[in-house]
Chain A
Amino acid sequence: MSHSFHLDVDRCTGCFACAVACMDQNDLETGDEPTAWRQVFTVETGTFPDAHLRYVSLACMHCEDAPCLLACPTGAIHREAGTQVVGIDADLCIGCHSCSIACPFGVPRFGADGKMQKCDLCSERLTYGLEPACVRVCPTRALRQGSPNELSQSVERRVAERLAGES
């Protein structure tokens, strides 16, 4: 069974709780460059008085057919047994940035040691039945984690409830 994140964009308020919880869980150092593993973006469209704001929180998608994994020349990027998470073994990373070129989401980050780092979906926590830190902290429950089909099912249920409510 694969795991992935789901973000309900309607519920994301750009509060950054997920980003900081990730820093706390993973002891991330923050500096001048955007090295955090989870990034929150404000997307603005239109102009006053018809402007619209949306917020999107993003981290590694843990793709089924992960381009970074295929591009990695040393095998540092691998698929973990069990959780199917796309993991990174820092000992094997040579800092070549091939993963950055391959990743369609802009996920790979490079720390002071020049090695790639990114979200591992808190895979060790998943093993013990704990949610990823970013999911646990989310004040609006916008961010969730699970199997893609189960996540889709719960989204579909909410749509059904809304449709029933409006009829």
Chain B
Amino acid sequence: MGEKDRMDELERRLRAKIPGQDTGIEVRKSICAICDPTTQCGLDLSVRDGRIIKVEGSQENPHNAGTLCSKGAATRQYVYHEDRLRTPLKRIGPRGSGEFAAISWDEALDTVVANLRRLGAESGPESVVFYVGYPKQPRPFVQRLALQFGSPNFCTESSTCFTATAMAFKLVYGQMAGPDLARARCLLVWSANPFYSNTTAARHLFDAIDRGMKLIAVDPRLTPLASRADIHLQLKPGTDGALALGMAHVIIAEDLYDREFVAAHTHGFAEFRDYVAGFDPARAAQITGVPAEKIRAAARLYATAKPAALMPSAAPVGHNTNGVQNYRAVFSLIGLTGNFDVSGGNMVAPFSWLEISGAGFTTRQHEFEMPKGWADLPPRVGAARFPVWAELVDQAQAMDLPRQIRSADPYPLRGLMAFGLNHRMFPGSAGFLEAIRDLEFICDVDLFATDSARYADIVLPACSSVERSELRCYPEKYVALSQPAIAPLGESRSDTDIVFELARRLELDDPLLNPSPGGVVEPDAAFEAAMDWILEPSGMTVAQLKQHPGGMPVADPLPNPERKYRAAGFPTPTGKMEFASSLLAKHGAVLTIDALPTYRPPRHSLEASPGLAADYPFILNTGSRLPMFVHSRTYRLAWTRSLRPRPAADLNPADAARLGIRHGDEIELATPSGAIRVLANLTELGQPGVVHMYHGHAEADVNLLFDPDYLDPISGFPGFKALLCSVRRVERPPLEEGPRDADLARASGEADR
């Protein structure tokens, strides 16, 4: 081979990004944290000259087995985006103006610490709210920081996501139980589309279908999952409770329930049976819009195809003003049919780390994040308004923040220490910004110069998951403590480094957050020491995990036998599965809620508010996942954005024809709270009478259409999945994009250069 041929070949290999010594391309392991911990895939990053040039799913990680989703595949644009913050910033203009100046880390952290101390001394540490959005990784560390600082007000984005599902499970069973997909003969997927929200489950779902597993999909939309189901129950949004009660009616009336389990292990069955007697399939059909025959067929299939598993979703059912009650009705079906804690049904697995159960080991996460009890602290934000939440959830309920900031009831809130603040997760998002405008001090730690960060006094640059270390575990009995694949961009730091730095400067008396008071322990070393303490029950150490940056199988994973309730009972007040909840009975009088999982239509619906429905005749369903976006995290990436360039609402062609709307027309969605303009995406994905809109768009924020008090009284969750709205075609040309985040990023980037 001649010299020229060799150069041509090297050029081709470089262009194809083939790893090797001659190309200088090295594959480094990391973890994607663009979406939730239940998915977070192992990454193989091709790195050349310290820069990522390509990303692939890691084949050795059994959770994603070499695959990724469209968001993870865009990691490179996520990591190197021009909106990345590169230095700490100090606000120099009015809140929201976006006028910032770059400052040093020392000045930034000193400013934060001085303000936290001042507010703590003047109004008590509870006047400072600690908040974590995405990613979830720093949660245990920020929670410990908050409690050791003396504030009970640790809250997260889980004030609108997932927690309502966990609460419903806990009210019925005292614990959660996940679907055992590998052994199920029937899978009942309740309003989830894992093909877009949890792509690591996708190949397993198809494998199960191929081996003959029956699939029932409950979903208002004809999703790719629903389109493959044996039975698709296409209900009206927000009527999940009525559908579940209708199925329970069939299962009990046709004597298909597990009499032995119900007799020995449940509480309140007689009342439940009497209540569901009122939900015969005809009535359930009338409420839900699902034909009675389909309700019967689904109930029979789920009850008789033993074992059958139920796959819930993180939020859709809970995003309803009757969300927890609706989900309790759904989850009651598991015990009713004897599918609780059985192989192939829904199994209880020991908790491991950060939302993941069943990784085969346990940790001291709970002990770490709860160094004090709630009884030793002032009441949390939302505790009086959402007492059931306060009993079941070890966090404050952030939905009550705007009210308490304005009213100072029961005490004033003056400061906010946030990691990944996003006002667009709040119903009435503009009102949330108005509320925090009045706070005396705000610090936001973020990857990007976001619209929310504009309201902060100090903005600190966080690094992404590929620039730091974190512990991640998987139900495949696999665990990884990732190591930085590239150096942090600019002066950015990991969220946990920032927590340990704050703890040191606050001189907290806590050997786990502040291991050498007055000393100079590097944050990395403090993080690893804390992880070793947390990992103690697992028998694993940081040193051991660091040898396997791509992860390793858990040695001797904990066994997980079936039907643990037979020996241990259920961790509920009665020790049994509760068809009628003791806890809700206790709070029922104050909240006007029932011990039984009663059905109530969405507060804004044709049934509950016919006057409103006359002016706002469409059901507005928001936030159902699109494949290329996860909350607001990938809108700014050119690759994912190119797949759906402008905010668009899904509208059924029959409705569109009636309103004279064509595909791609600009339309206005309006409620009494506000209006937004978007493009019309005509699709049979949605049923007639329902409009679907994805959330978190800066140009068309659908949460502006919600009243901040449109909440479930049990969980405090917003009714994001069932509101009423009007739809009309707009003649005028599309709105120009408003001023965006780029100037903030530019200020930070210039300082970096």
Contact = CB atoms under 8 A, between A and B. Distances in A.
A17 B68 CA distance: 7
B227 A138 contact: no
Given A36-B642, A44-B683, A48-B688, A13 B202 contact: yes
B70 interface: yes
Nearest to A161: B210
Contacts of B225: 13
Determine which residue in A20, A21, A36 has the highest number of CB atoms from chain B within 10 A of its CB, and name it. Answer: A20
B210 A17 contact: no
B206 A140 contact: yes
Interface stretch (B50-58, B118-126, B139-147, B698-706): B50-58
B18 A125 contact: yes
B58 to A, nearest CB: 11
B652 interface: yes
B546 interface: no
A17 B224 contact: no
A83 to B, nearest CB: 12
A20 B210 contact: no
B74 interface: yes
Nearest to A44: B684
Contacts, number: 137
Interface string A27-60: 0111110001000001010111101111100000
Contacts of B222: 48, 51, 53
A55 B193 CA distance: 15
Nearest to B71: A20
Determine which residue in A11, A36, A42 has the highest number of CB atoms from chain B within 10 A of its CB, and name it. Answer: A11
B687 interface: yes
Nearest to A20: B73
Contacts of B597: none
B66 A23 contact: no
Nearest to A14: B224
B160 to A, nearest CB: 24
B73 A13 contact: no
A19 B683 contact: no
Contacts of A47: 653-654, 684
Contacts of A42: 683
Contacts of A15: 69-70, 195-196, 199, 202, 627
A140 B195 contact: yes
A20 B70 contact: yes
A8 B38 CA distance: 26
B301 to A, nearest CB: 17
A159 B684 CA distance: 30
Contacts of A16: 70, 627-628, 640, 643
Contacts of B591: none
A42 B74 CA distance: 21
A24 B212 contact: no
Interface string A63-77: 000000000000000
A7 to B, nearest CB: 13
Determine which residue in A31, A46, A138, A158 has the highest number of CB atoms from chain B within 10 A of its CB, and name it. Answer: A138
B275 to A, nearest CB: 29
A142 to B, nearest CB: 8
A12 B18 CA distance: 28
B70 A133 contact: no
A48 B66 CA distance: 37
B57 A136 contact: yes
Contacts of B652: 48
Contacts of A36: 642
Contacts of B740: none
Determine which residue in B12, B55, B64 has the highest number of CB atoms from chain A within 10 A of its CB, and name it. Answer: B55
Contacts of A139: 64, 67-69, 195, 199-200, 202-203
A36 B73 CA distance: 14
Interface string A122-161: 1011001010010011111100000000000000001001
Nearest to B221: A53
A35 B642 CA distance: 10
Given A48-B652, A124-B13, A32 B203 contact: no
Contacts of A137: 56-57, 66-68, 73
12 contacts: A10-B206, A15-B627, A16-B70, A17-B68, A20-B640, A24-B55, A24-B74, A24-B76, A48-B688, A139-B199, A139-B202, A161-B210
User: Can you list the 7 inter-chain pairs with the closest CB atoms, starting with the nearest?
Assistant: A124-B16, A51-B684, A30-B642, A13-B195, A139-B199, A20-B73, A13-B224
Interface of A: 10-11, 13-17, 19-21, 23-25, 28-32, 36, 42, 44, 46-49, 51-55, 122, 124-125, 128, 130, 133, 136-141, 158, 161-162, 165-166
Given A24-B76, A48-B654, A140-B206, 19 more contacts: A13-B225, A14-B224, A15-B70, A16-B70, A17-B68, A17-B72, A20-B640, A23-B74, A24-B55, A24-B639, A30-B638, A42-B683, A44-B685, A46-B684, A47-B653, A124-B15, A137-B73, A139-B199, A141-B67
